[in-house]
Amino acid sequence: MSQDTHTTLYVKDLFGEYMPADAQVIIAEAKRRMTAKLKRGSPLTSPGAAREAIRFKLADYEYEVFACLFLDNQHRIIRFTELFRGTIDGASVYPREVVKATLACNAAAVIFCHNHPSGLAEPSEADRVITQRLKQALGLLDIRVLDHFVIGAETVYSFAEHGIL
Protein backbone atom coordinates (compact mmCIF):
# COMPACT_ATOMS: atom_id res chain seq x y z
CA MET A 1 0.00 0.00 0.00
CA SER A 2 1.47 3.38 -1.05
CA GLN A 3 1.43 6.55 0.99
CA ASP A 4 -1.00 9.14 -0.41
CA THR A 5 0.94 12.39 -0.90
CA HIS A 6 -2.09 14.44 -1.93
CA THR A 7 -2.99 17.13 0.57
CA THR A 8 -6.45 18.61 0.72
CA LEU A 9 -6.73 22.30 1.53
CA TYR A 10 -9.77 23.58 3.37
CA VAL A 11 -11.48 26.96 3.47
CA LYS A 12 -14.26 28.35 5.67
CA ASP A 13 -17.62 28.90 4.06
CA LEU A 14 -20.08 31.68 4.98
CA PHE A 15 -21.30 29.72 7.97
CA GLY A 16 -17.83 29.10 9.44
CA GLU A 17 -17.75 25.47 8.33
CA TYR A 18 -14.65 24.07 6.65
CA MET A 19 -14.92 22.58 3.18
CA PRO A 20 -12.34 21.40 0.61
CA ALA A 21 -10.97 24.27 -1.51
CA ASP A 22 -11.28 23.99 -5.25
CA ALA A 23 -8.50 24.93 -7.69
CA GLN A 24 -9.89 28.41 -8.35
CA VAL A 25 -9.87 29.29 -4.66
CA ILE A 26 -6.30 28.05 -4.26
CA ILE A 27 -5.08 29.99 -7.30
CA ALA A 28 -6.89 33.15 -6.18
CA GLU A 29 -5.30 32.92 -2.73
CA ALA A 30 -1.84 32.35 -4.23
CA LYS A 31 -2.27 35.45 -6.41
CA ARG A 32 -3.49 37.47 -3.45
CA ARG A 33 -0.47 36.48 -1.40
CA MET A 34 1.96 37.22 -4.25
CA THR A 35 0.49 40.65 -4.95
CA ALA A 36 0.44 41.42 -1.23
CA LYS A 37 4.21 41.69 -1.59
CA LEU A 38 3.57 44.93 -3.49
CA LYS A 39 2.32 46.79 -0.40
CA ARG A 40 3.79 50.06 0.82
CA GLY A 41 7.03 49.75 2.75
CA SER A 42 7.88 46.26 1.54
CA PRO A 43 11.54 46.09 0.53
CA LEU A 44 12.35 44.55 -2.82
CA THR A 45 14.80 41.90 -1.75
CA SER A 46 15.60 40.67 -5.24
CA PRO A 47 14.69 41.21 -8.90
CA GLY A 48 13.07 37.76 -8.82
CA ALA A 49 10.71 38.74 -6.02
CA ALA A 50 9.62 41.86 -7.90
CA ARG A 51 9.20 39.88 -11.10
CA GLU A 52 6.93 37.25 -9.56
CA ALA A 53 4.75 39.71 -7.68
CA ILE A 54 4.27 41.84 -10.80
CA ARG A 55 3.66 38.78 -12.95
CA PHE A 56 0.70 37.68 -10.86
CA LYS A 57 -0.69 41.21 -10.92
CA LEU A 58 -0.71 41.59 -14.72
CA ALA A 59 -0.63 38.14 -16.30
CA ASP A 60 -4.38 37.51 -16.62
CA TYR A 61 -5.43 40.70 -18.41
CA GLU A 62 -6.82 40.27 -21.91
CA TYR A 63 -5.66 43.79 -22.80
CA GLU A 64 -2.30 45.51 -22.40
CA VAL A 65 -1.64 47.35 -19.14
CA PHE A 66 1.39 49.54 -18.40
CA ALA A 67 2.18 49.95 -14.71
CA CYS A 68 4.85 51.44 -12.47
CA LEU A 69 6.27 50.24 -9.21
CA PHE A 70 7.37 53.38 -7.36
CA LEU A 71 10.23 52.96 -4.86
CA ASP A 72 11.96 55.09 -2.25
CA ASN A 73 15.74 55.50 -2.07
CA GLN A 74 16.04 52.21 -0.13
CA HIS A 75 14.02 50.38 -2.83
CA ARG A 76 11.04 49.97 -0.54
CA ILE A 77 7.69 50.05 -2.26
CA ILE A 78 5.77 53.31 -2.17
CA ARG A 79 3.02 52.32 -4.58
CA PHE A 80 2.14 50.04 -7.49
CA THR A 81 0.01 51.86 -10.05
CA GLU A 82 -1.55 50.75 -13.31
CA LEU A 83 -1.18 53.91 -15.39
CA PHE A 84 -2.33 53.02 -18.90
CA ARG A 85 -4.72 50.50 -20.38
CA GLY A 86 -4.72 49.59 -24.05
CA THR A 87 -6.06 46.96 -26.37
CA ILE A 88 -5.02 43.39 -27.14
CA ASP A 89 -1.86 44.53 -28.91
CA GLY A 90 -0.74 47.82 -27.41
CA ALA A 91 -1.15 50.65 -24.93
CA SER A 92 -0.26 54.31 -25.33
CA VAL A 93 2.24 55.44 -22.72
CA TYR A 94 2.70 59.15 -22.09
CA PRO A 95 6.03 60.19 -20.48
CA ARG A 96 4.47 63.34 -19.01
CA GLU A 97 1.94 61.27 -17.06
CA VAL A 98 4.62 58.84 -15.86
CA VAL A 99 6.75 61.75 -14.62
CA LYS A 100 3.72 63.33 -12.87
CA ALA A 101 2.84 60.06 -11.14
CA THR A 102 6.46 59.50 -10.09
CA LEU A 103 6.77 62.98 -8.62
CA ALA A 104 3.36 62.75 -6.92
CA CYS A 105 4.54 59.87 -4.75
CA ASN A 106 8.08 61.28 -4.32
CA ALA A 107 9.71 58.17 -5.78
CA ALA A 108 13.48 57.88 -6.06
CA ALA A 109 13.32 54.87 -8.39
CA VAL A 110 10.81 53.07 -10.59
CA ILE A 111 10.27 49.71 -12.20
CA PHE A 112 8.10 49.68 -15.31
CA CYS A 113 6.05 46.68 -16.30
CA HIS A 114 3.48 45.74 -18.85
CA ASN A 115 1.85 42.58 -20.10
CA HIS A 116 1.61 41.14 -23.59
CA PRO A 117 -1.81 39.50 -23.96
CA SER A 118 -0.38 37.53 -26.92
CA GLY A 119 1.60 35.55 -24.36
CA LEU A 120 5.00 36.41 -25.85
CA ALA A 121 7.30 38.23 -23.43
CA GLU A 122 9.73 39.49 -26.08
CA PRO A 123 9.72 43.33 -26.10
CA SER A 124 8.77 45.15 -29.29
CA GLU A 125 10.75 48.00 -30.79
CA ALA A 126 8.07 50.36 -29.42
CA ASP A 127 8.68 48.90 -25.93
CA ARG A 128 12.39 49.61 -26.26
CA VAL A 129 11.82 53.17 -27.51
CA ILE A 130 9.34 54.16 -24.79
CA THR A 131 11.60 52.69 -22.11
CA GLN A 132 14.50 54.86 -23.27
CA ARG A 133 12.26 57.96 -23.49
CA LEU A 134 10.99 57.37 -19.96
CA LYS A 135 14.49 56.71 -18.65
CA GLN A 136 15.73 59.99 -20.19
CA ALA A 137 12.79 62.01 -18.84
CA LEU A 138 13.11 60.61 -15.32
CA GLY A 139 16.90 60.85 -15.44
CA LEU A 140 16.61 64.63 -15.73
CA LEU A 141 15.03 64.52 -12.28
CA ASP A 142 17.55 62.05 -10.81
CA ILE A 143 14.95 59.27 -10.67
CA ARG A 144 16.44 55.85 -11.41
CA VAL A 145 14.78 53.35 -13.72
CA LEU A 146 15.72 49.95 -12.29
CA ASP A 147 13.97 47.65 -14.76
CA HIS A 148 11.16 47.15 -17.22
CA PHE A 149 9.41 43.79 -17.11
CA VAL A 150 7.38 42.44 -20.02
CA ILE A 151 4.98 39.77 -18.78
CA GLY A 152 4.05 36.95 -21.12
CA ALA A 153 2.01 33.82 -20.55
CA GLU A 154 4.88 31.70 -19.24
CA THR A 155 7.89 34.02 -18.98
CA VAL A 156 8.87 37.50 -17.88
CA TYR A 157 11.44 39.49 -19.86
CA SER A 158 13.69 41.84 -17.88
CA PHE A 159 15.29 44.79 -19.69
CA ALA A 160 17.93 45.04 -16.94
CA GLU A 161 18.89 41.37 -17.16
CA HIS A 162 19.28 41.72 -20.92
CA GLY A 163 21.47 44.83 -20.60
CA ILE A 164 18.98 47.16 -22.30
CA LEU A 165 18.75 49.69 -19.44
Q: What is the CATH number of the domain that holds 61?
A: 3.40.140.10
Q: What's residue 164's pLDDT?
A: 87
CA distance 88 to 114: 12
Per-residue pLDDT 10s for the chain (165 aa) are 445 455 666 666 666 776 677 666 655 666 666 555 556 666 676 777 778 778 878 878 899 999 999 999 998 889 999 999 999 988 999 999 999 999 999 999 999 999 999 989 999 999 999 999 999 999 999 999 999 999 998 899 999 999 988
Structural domain harbouring 73: 10-158
What is the Cα Rg of the chain in Å? 18
Residue 87 included in any domain: yes
Residue 78 included in any domain: yes
Residue 164 included in any domain: no
Q: What's residue 112's pLDDT?
A: 96
CA distance 165 to 148: 8
Q: What is the pTM of this model?
A: 0.77
**Domain total in the chain:** 1
Residue 54 included in any domain: yes
- Which residue type occupies 77? I
CA distance 102 to 142: 11
Query: Which H helix or E strand runs over 147?
Result: strand 144-151
* Phi–psi pair at 56, nearest 5 degrees: -65, -30
Residue 70 included in any domain: yes
- Which residue type occupies 49? A
Q: What's residue 124's pLDDT?
A: 94
- What angle is formed at CA 86 by the lines to CA 80 and CA 92, rounded to 5 degrees? 85
Residue 4 included in any domain: no
